[in-house]
Structure 1
Amino acid sequence: MPTALLTNQYAPALQALIRAEAPAGFDIIALNQTSHADIVARASEADYLLVGGRIPIDAAVLNAATRLRMVQRTGVGLDAMDLDAIESRGIPVYVNPGVNAQSVAEHTLMLMLAVLRRLPVVHRSLRDGDWKKHELGIRNRDLSGRRVGLIGLGHIGQAVARLLQPFGVILSYHKRQRLPNPDEQTLGLNYQPLDELIAESEVVSLHCPLTPDTRNLLSRERIGHMRPGAVLINTARGGLVDEPALIEALQHGHLGGAGLDAFVQEPLPAESPLRTLDNVVLSPHISGITRDSFQEMMRRAFHNIAAFEAGELEVIAPMRLR
């Protein structure tokens, strides 16, 4: 019986959803407590790794996984996987590009609106018994007419661009390879060099992967060059941002606010100043996970695994990363 090891910890209700999507005849190993050591301890039983979460899939895991035939990523981020080590063992890696792009894009839009409308402050005030209609409202901002800059324009960035079109924003983007002009026109985008986009945008939203080249992409210097009162949205990876510099810019009023779904350290430490700032909206790296997107991620992941097990490699060839 082929066996798939889940490398992330899932609550019983989520495990039930996962098992419901698993192919008939497969054994699923779900870890009750997930750590690197737990994965290494069970890796020898796995024909397939279903990789989710942030625990590294590195040489130690691969050395223990003597039966491993294929690695399937549930989401899209690859920074927790040692791709060179996997490739050196001749193990193919499969992904499902764009599988949760719409969910992340919707969450991104929600954070933009929540920060500009200061939703946590407004909600808390009313819940506490106040009715400060004008006092609170006059401090909020519209999204319409804002200059929004997207850094990275893959499946998620393009989905964000489409969602923003009805809001009448002035929409710019930066990526290493510029889109063809017809695609820019369709999405209502203007291309800008990175530093120019950072300096001119009223809302900066991050949608690029975390790599050695993009770590601290939004450095202390670049945060200092952001427009006074600007808003930062990060639904990508915490390591893209110099987090201490971001905190200082938010505390001292250089930035107007931030909507953050990703952090340098996850879970976000209890002592993080981000937890105390009224101009910050936080979520626990949840932008890509709704019931709908979770089921779809698992459905597509197991489709790839079942096809691989059946030898139908041509069916899943477009999803193979390496």
Structure 2
Amino acid sequence: MEKLKIAAIGDQFITSAVFETAVRDAIGAGCEVVTRDLQWPEVPFFAYDGPAGTEIKEYSGNPKDLEAMLAEAEVLVTHLAPVTAELLEKAPRLKFIGVSRGGPTNVNMEAARARNVTVCNVPGRNASAVAEFTVGAILANVRRITVGHAGLSQGIWRGDLYRYDRTGDELSDLTVGLLGYSHIGQRVVRLLKPFGCRILICDPYAKLTVQDAIDGVEQVEIDDLIAQSDILSLHARVTPETTGIISAERIAKMKKGAVLVNSARGELVDQPALCEALVSGHLGGAALDTFEVEPPKNDDELLRLPNVTLTPHIAGASRRVATFAAEQIAEDLARFLKGEKLKNPCS
């Protein structure tokens, strides 16, 4: 019997070896796996400015380089490979694509549907990692870890941070607002509850559970979220409706001294307006893991502000995320091969 031909295209985070191990554990030895590893994150992924044009986004590599590898493949498991309409045409035997991320933005879904190729993904794959990171970023700002570190790194002992008018707050005295209440937002709430803070959420698609009500989680409209939050944490996807949702006008309506945490996407925020609010002192601080342009330009003023915690889009990165995502894809592949309903099919 001919073995199932599988292409495993990994990168430096979810490697092809991780994919291959997960696939063989899930479906056994009756497969032939060819592998390749792309250069992300050592080389940043493309948004809309790469070799695939505007057809897909957030991908690594050139689709032309993958044509030979996929010519005989029946299954593709990948994280960031650029799956364009042209590449699909060069893969006539392909019938299943597993994308080990929350949204298959690197796959031309219209072309996949037209060719009757089944696609699955892993929604919420990094919810725990991002939630932990978010709480850490909140604490770094409200407990003055960020500004204290910035001072010491320049040889300045910030003993003044013990002054009443400059020291930090405890979360039990603060209101934390979450914009977006899906997998990540819900996990953030679970981690925040023991701190005793007031928690607000804004998400037109979310419905609070009985447990949310017991825990005191409040659902509000966005203007109330903006006005009442001491800490505003973003967990929304980028859509035409959410692009620029934290606008200059809304930043101006945030509490004086409030902190903005963005571990979602840079496109949600008017970045120049945010920078101005941080410089003026209207906002007390920010924690940014994502930016309008990644990586940010060296002359970006945000990189030089002492009240900003900056990280290079790593909130969703953990070893467990990599193995979990590959395992979920492999398990859905096993279901597909058995003719069973997939856990995470993409429409």
Give TM class, smaller chain: 0.7 to 0.9
Q: Does 1:27 find its partner at 2:33?
A: yes
Query: What SS is found at the alignment partner of 2:188?
Result: helix
Letter of the structure 1 residue corresponding to residue 275 of structure 2: I
2:289 aligns with 261
Distance 2:281 2:207 in 1: 35
1:3 aligns with 6
Distance 2:103 2:272 in 1: 24
Q: Does 1:248 find its partner at 2:273?
A: no
2:192 aligns with 164
Q: Give the percent of matched residue pairs that are identical in Structure 1 and Structure 2.
A: 34
Q: Answer yes or no: is the 8 Å Cα contact 1:144–1:167 preserved in 2.
A: yes
Distance 1:43 1:269 in 2: 34
2:301 aligns with 273
Letter of the structure 1 residue corresponding to residue 280 of structure 2: H
Q: Judging changes above 3 Å, is the alpha-carbon distance between structure 1 residues 305 and 274 closer, same or farther for their aligned structure 2 residues?
A: farther
Letter of the structure 1 residue corresponding to residue 35 of structure 2: I
1:39 aligns with 63
Q: Does 1:234 find its partner at 2:236?
A: no
Residue by residue over 1:256-277, the C-alpha shift from the partner in whole angstroms, topping out at 9 and shown as x without a partner, is 1111112222233333222211
Q: Answer yes or no: is the 8 Å Cα contact 2:16–2:35 preserved in 1.
A: no
Distance 1:130 1:219 in 2: 34
The correspondence for 1:210, drawn from 235, 238, 242, is 238
What is the CA distance between 1:151 and its match in structure 2? Answer: 0.9
Distance 2:243 2:153 in 1: 39
What is the CA distance between 1:176 and its match in structure 2? Answer: 1.1
Letter of the structure 1 residue corresponding to residue 97 of structure 2: V
Q: Does 1:70 find its partner at 2:96?
A: yes
Q: Does 1:321 find its partner at 2:346?
A: yes
The correspondence for 1:50, drawn from 60, 68, 77, is 77
What is the CA distance between 1:51 and its match in structure 2? Answer: 4.2
Letter of the structure 1 residue corresponding to residue 75 of structure 2: Y
2:56 aligns with none
Letter of the structure 2 residue corresponding to residue 9 of structure 1: D
2:46 aligns with none
TM-score, length-normalised on structure 2? 0.80
Q: Judging changes above 3 Å, is the alpha-carbon distance between structure 1 residues 117 and 47 closer, same or farther for their aligned structure 2 residues?
A: farther
Distance 1:63 1:216 in 2: 36
Q: Answer yes or no: is the 8 Å Cα contact 1:161–1:187 preserved in 2.
A: no
Q: Answer yes or no: is the 8 Å Cα contact 2:245–2:268 preserved in 1.
A: yes
Q: Answer yes or no: is the 8 Å Cα contact 1:165–1:188 preserved in 2.
A: no
Distance 2:104 2:78 in 1: 10
Stretch moving more, 27-36 or 297-306: 27-36
TM-score, length-normalised on structure 1? 0.86
Q: Does 1:199 find its partner at 2:200?
A: no
Q: Answer yes or no: is the 8 Å Cα contact 1:73–1:301 preserved in 2.
A: yes
Letter of the structure 1 residue corresponding to residue 66 of structure 2: R
2:330 aligns with 302
Q: Answer yes or no: is the 8 Å Cα contact 2:97–2:120 preserved in 1.
A: yes
Query: What SS is found at the alignment partner of 1:67?
Result: coil
Residue by residue over 1:128-160, the C-alpha shift from the partner in whole angstroms, topping out at 9 and shown as x without a partner, is 665444535743332222111111111111000
Q: Judging changes above 3 Å, is the alpha-carbon distance between structure 1 residues 68 and 239 closer, same or farther for their aligned structure 2 residues?
A: farther
Larger radius of gyration: 2
Distance 2:106 2:255 in 1: 33
Aligned length: 316
Q: Judging changes above 3 Å, is the alpha-carbon distance between structure 1 residues 126 and 273 closer, same or farther for their aligned structure 2 residues?
A: closer
Query: What SS is found at the alignment partner of 1:268?
Result: coil
Query: What SS is found at the alignment partner of 2:116?
Result: coil
1:135 aligns with 161
Which blocks of at least 5 consecutive residues in structure 1 are unaligned? Answer: none
What is the CA distance between 1:306 and its match in structure 2? Answer: 3.7
Q: Judging changes above 3 Å, is the alpha-carbon distance between structure 1 residues 244 and 28 closer, same or farther for their aligned structure 2 residues?
A: farther
Which blocks of at least 5 consecutive residues in structure 2 are unaligned? Answer: 41-49, 52-60
Query: What SS is found at the alignment partner of 1:2?
Result: strand
Matches within 5 A, 1:55-134: 57-126=83-152, 131-134=157-160
Q: Which structure has greater helix proportion?
A: 1
